[in-house]
Amino acid sequence: MPEIAIPTPQHVDCSLSSRPKSLLRSILRDATAADHARLDATLGAFDLCTVPGYRRFLEINAAALLPLERSLERAGVRAVLPDWSDRARTAAILTDLARLGGRATPLDAPELAGGSALLGTLYVLEGSRLGAAYLLRTVKACSDPLISGTTAFLGHGAGRHFWPQYLAALESCADELAEDDLVRSARAAFDLFAHAAVLP
């Protein structure tokens, strides 16, 4: 992929928020519930205990994950989540794809303008770790050792508190965020995964 210049990230001061702590999480959950359900149904159709099924599952995830992580980095994600280097999963999913003979075909990276777009996108990526933990148990129980031993992506961040830390960052920024942009970016991230799922 060609190198893209990284602009100076916009600073988001999240220290003075007074909005109720549960509001933004609830808004995002409700606004993206249908998108989430559709994507879960699509990805849930793959048999993860077969190499073709698991490989296709990972290829779909990589097609959306790679450009989204790249966009987050261009948007200055480290200003919001200083431990981003520990959170990024591009290397993990590429490792798994290499083991299974798959390939990543990233979609176009979206532009994320401002803290609302950044945190809305992170809602989808960080939230996906919750489903990954469930799928990890399924994959580890598969009889094929090639599959059960290929869990860098699904197991990434296991034992870390990435999700609650993200929620804390989200709510601490509440007064600085535009709800419409927050929801729009989260739905756009779900759409990117959905688009990847229908590509040949």
SS3 breakdown of the chain: % helix, strand, coil, rounded to 5? 65, 0, 35
CA torsion sign for 185, 188, 192, 197 is positive
Which residue stretches of 75-89 are H helix?
84-87
The percent of residues above 70 in pLDDT, for the chain, comes to 89
* Residue 2: inside a domain: no
Q: Is residue 95 part of a domain?
A: yes
Instruction: Please check whether residue 17 lies inside any domain of the structure.
Output: no
* Domains contained in the chain, number: 1
**112 Rama class: left (phi>0) / alpha (psi -120 to 50) / beta:** beta
Domain that holds residue 91: 23-198
Domain presence at residue 174: yes
Q: Residue 92 falls within a domain, yes or no?
A: yes
Dihedral in degrees, nearest 10, Cα atoms 89, 2, 116, 173: 60
- Please say whether the beta carbons of 49 and 105 come within 8 A: no
Give pLDDT tens digits for 125-172: 999 999 999 999 999 999 999 999 999 999 999 999 999 999 999 999
Residue 161 lies in a domain: yes
Q: Quick: pLDDT tens for 20-45.
A: 444 899 999 999 999 999 999 999 99
Q: Are 89 and 153 in contact (CB under 8 A)?
A: yes
Instruction: Give the DSSP H/E element, type plus range, for residue 165.
Output: helix 162-172
Confidence label for 5 from pLDDT (cuts 50, 70 and 90): very low
CATH at residue 27: 1.20.910.10
What pLDDT is attached to residue 23? 85
Is 11 within a domain?
Answer: no
pTM for the model: 0.88
**pLDDT for res 19:** 47
Query: For residues 40-70, b (16+ Cβ closer than 10 Å) or e, as one string?
Result: eeebeebebeebeebbbbbbbbbbbbbbbbb
Q: How far apart are the first and last CA of the chain?
A: 20
Residue 14 has pLDDT above 70, yes or no: no
Confidence grade of residue 60 (pLDDT, cut at 50, 70, 90): very high
In a domain, 16, yes or no: no
